[in-house]
Amino acid sequence: MTAITSRVESIRPRWQAIVMVALIFWLSGSLILDLVIMPSLYVSGMMTSPEFATAGNLMFWGFNRVELICAALVATGLMVLSNLSNGFGKQSRTAIILSLVLLAIALIDTYALTPQMSALGMQLNLFDAAEVPTGMNLLHQAYLGLETVKLAVGVTLLSWCYQHQA
């Protein structure tokens, strides 16, 4: 019986580390993209360039796939941690639900918002002046709202993992 208990206790710190590293990597990548890269592209005038939609689509396509992997790691890790003997405390169920919210946000970004923004921003007539479509503002607001929720939920889960370190 003690061998099983010691094995379980050796697994717990590994999964906590996986969850924490995935969250830190994901949230820092999001912050860099949202607060550094995109504003600098906007200020430089790149967003009015005809090639911006293609470049943005390629950049977000890759980042969205990384987000999906991070969200899956976080959800899996929290499910494992909640099933261990000591578990994740009283917050296990809430942590799993929050991790599924993060996964839902990553899925919405990947399969709804990014393709819609890319399609709206595509310049099909090379002779027309490039301009930001009017519907793009609504999509940007939705993206910003999801990013805010993702950051709040991610920081919450990160602090819970830090508090429950073995």
Percentage above 70 pLDDT, the chain? 82
CA distances from 61 to 22, 28, 40 (A): 19, 18, 19
More confident: 136 or 100: 100
**pLDDT tens profile 114-141:** 999 888 776 555 555 555 567 778 988 9
pLDDT at 11: 85
pLDDT recorded at residue 49: 73
> Quick one: average pLDDT of 95-104?
97
The average pLDDT across 59-73 equals 96
Q: How do residues 34-45 score in pLDDT, each as one tens digit?
A: 999 888 888 887
> Which three-class secondary structure state does DSSP give residue 98?
helix
What would the mean pLDDT of 7-29 be, rounded to a whole number? 90
Band of residue 53 on the pLDDT scale cut at 50, 70, 90: confident
Angle at 24 between CA 23 and CA 29, to 5 degrees: 100
Least confident of 46-50, 53-57, 114-118, 127-131: 127-131
- The better pLDDT of the pair 96, 134 is held by 96
Tell me the three state secondary structure of residue 121.
Answer: helix
What is the value of pTM for the model shown? 0.86
**Taken in order 54, 23, 150, 28, is the CA torsion positive or negative?**
negative
